[in-house]
Amino acid sequence: MTSQVTKAVIPAAGLGTRFLPATKAIPKEMLPVVDRPAIQYVVEEAVQANLTDLLMVTGRNKTPLENHFDRVPALEDALEKRGDESRLTAVRRTSELADVHYLRQGDPLGLGHAVLRAHQHVGKNSFAVLLGDDIIDDGGELLREMLTLHEKTGASVVAVQEVPTEQVSSYGVVAPHLVDGAPESIESNDAWPAVWVDGLVEKPAPEQAPSNLAIIGRYVLRHEVFEVLQRTSPGRGGEIQLTDAMQELAARREELGGVVAVVFRGRRYDTGNKFDYLKANIELAAAHPEIGEQVREWIQSYASTLTNRPTQNR
Ligand code: UTP
C-alpha cells in the first residue's frame, strides 16, 4: 500500500434535483457562494491539503466546470489593459490552482459508481474523495488530519459530524466499534476525536441508526475500494452506494485495513440543499474580508424587521 496520497477525486456528476429549477442548465457546483462557485472552495481545500492531482467526475451540462478552471485569454487581456490587477489575479488563480482532469460518469448511477470511474486514474494508490457540493469551513485542516490518520493506521478514513437523531435518515451513518461498551478510539489530539468503525449504513430510519455520527463528504480511501465497488449492487435509491462498499472495508479490517471515522465539529454546508446553500452564503459573506463588515451590519438590521413576517408563495 502506498500511503503518500497525492490524488483526489471530486464527484460532481449528480443531477442536483433538490435545487431545480436553478440547476436545470447550470451544475449545482457552479452556483456562486459569495464570490466564487461552490466547486472552487472544494478545489482550494484539496490544494490546502497538498492534493494537486484532481480528477473531477462530471456529466452532461457540466462543461461550465471545465471552463471555470481553464484560462480565458480574452478576459485576461482586457483586465490587463485596464490595469485591474486584483481581478486579473483572481481570474488567473482558478486556472493555476491544481492539475484538474475530467472524466464523464456516463449514467449517474450513484456516488459509488462515480468513484469507481476513477479507478484507472488512481491506480493502486490511496486517494481522497471530496464531494463537489460540500463546503467545509477549514476543510484543508480536516483533510490533512484525515491523511495523517490514514498514514498512521493504514485504514480508510471517513469524516463524520454529530447530527440530531431525527436527521440521521438524510445521511450515511457509522457504527463505532465497541470495546467493553465504549467506542474504540484512536489516539489523536483532542480537537479531532477518531474511532474505529464496525459498519456503515446509508440513510437509516432514526430508530435503526447505529449512532448519530453522519458521514459528510470527505473520504480517504484505500484502492481496494475499487475491487469492492466493482461487485457492489445498487442499494438505496437504486444507486451504487459508496457507503455499502465501505461497509465491506470496515467488516474486513484484517485484510482491507478497516475504516476510521474522524469527528468534525466545525461548519459544513451541503450546497445542493437550498437552506444550507443560503447559510453558506450568509455565513461566508459575514466573514468575507471585503464585504464582511457591511454584511454583518445589514444582517443585524434586517433581523430586527423579521418578527412574524408571512412566508411568500412564488
Ligand atoms: P447527491 O445525492 O448530493 O447529489 O450526491 P445529487 O444526486 O445531485 O442530489 P439531488 O439530485 O439534489 O438529490 C452526492 C455527491 O455525489 C455526486 C454528486 O455530484 C454529489 O457531489 N454524484 C451523485 C455523482 O457524481 N454521481 C452520481 O451518480 C450521484
Per-residue model confidence as pLDDT tens for the chain (314 residues): 445 899 999 999 999 999 999 999 999 999 999 999 999 999 999 999 999 899 999 987 889 999 999 999 999 999 999 999 999 999 999 999 899 999 999 988 999 999 999 999 999 999 999 999 999 998 789 999 999 999 999 999 999 999 999 999 999 999 998 888 888 888 767 788 999 999 999 999 999 999 999 999 999 999 999 999 999 988 888 899 999 999 999 999 999 999 999 999 999 999 999 999 999 999 999 999 999 999 999 999 999 998 766 666 66
Q: Taking the alpha carbons of 189, 124, 95, 37 in that order, is the dihedral positive or negative?
A: negative
157 with 134: CB under 8 angstroms? no
Residue found by looking up cell 476513477 in the block: 118
Q: Could you tell me which residues are beta bridge partners of residue 269?
A: 135
3-class secondary structure, 245: helix
Closest protein CA for atom 27 of ligand 1: 110
| Ligand 1 neighbour 18 (Cβ under 6 A) | yes
Give residue 138's pLDDT. 83
In the chain, CATH 3.90.550.10 covers: 7-272
> For residue 186, how far is its CA from the centre of ligand 1 (angstroms)?
31
* Rounded to 5°, angle at Cα 195 from 261 and 146: 40
Q: What is the pTM of this model?
A: 0.94
Nearest CA to ligand 1 atom 2: 14
Q: Which CATH superfamily is domain 7-272 in?
A: Spore Coat Polysaccharide Biosynthesis Protein SpsA; Chain A (3.90.550.10)
Of 314, 271, 284, nearest in space to 19 by CA = 271
Q: Which residues contact 160 (CB under 8 A, 6 or more apart)?
A: 174, 213, 214, 215, 216, 261, 262, 263, 264
Contact 196, 249 (CB under 8 A): no
Atom of ligand 1 nearest to the CA of 10: 21
Q: Which position has the grid cell 452506494?
A: 241
Query: Which helix H or strand E contains 130, and what residues bound it?
Result: strand 127-130
> What are the beta bridge partners of residue 196?
260
> In a mutational test of the pocket of ligand 1, which residue from 9, 10, 15 has the highest number of ligand atoms less than 8 Å from its CB?
15
The DSSP letter of residue 306 is -
Query: Cell numbers at residue 165, please?
Result: 437523531
Sign of CA dihedral 35, 8, 65, 71: positive
Ligand 1 atom with the smallest distance to the CA of 110 is: 28
**Atom of ligand 1 lying closest to residue 18 CA:** 12
Report CA(127)–ligand 1 centroid distance (Å). 19
Q: Which of 133, 219, 277, when mutated, tests ligand 1's pocket best, judged by the most ligand atoms within 8 Å of its CB?
A: 133
Helix, strand, coil: what percent of the chain each, to 5?
40, 25, 35
Q: Is the CB of 131 under 6 A from ligand 1?
A: yes
**Whether the Cβ atoms of residue 204 and residue 195 lie closer than 8 Å to each other:** no
Compute the radius of gyration of the chain from its Cα atoms.
20
For ligand 1, say whether the CB of 15 is within 6 Å of any of its atoms.
Answer: yes
pLDDT at 311: 67
Distance 113 CA to ligand 1 centre (A): 11
Q: Which residue has the cell 471515522?
A: 261
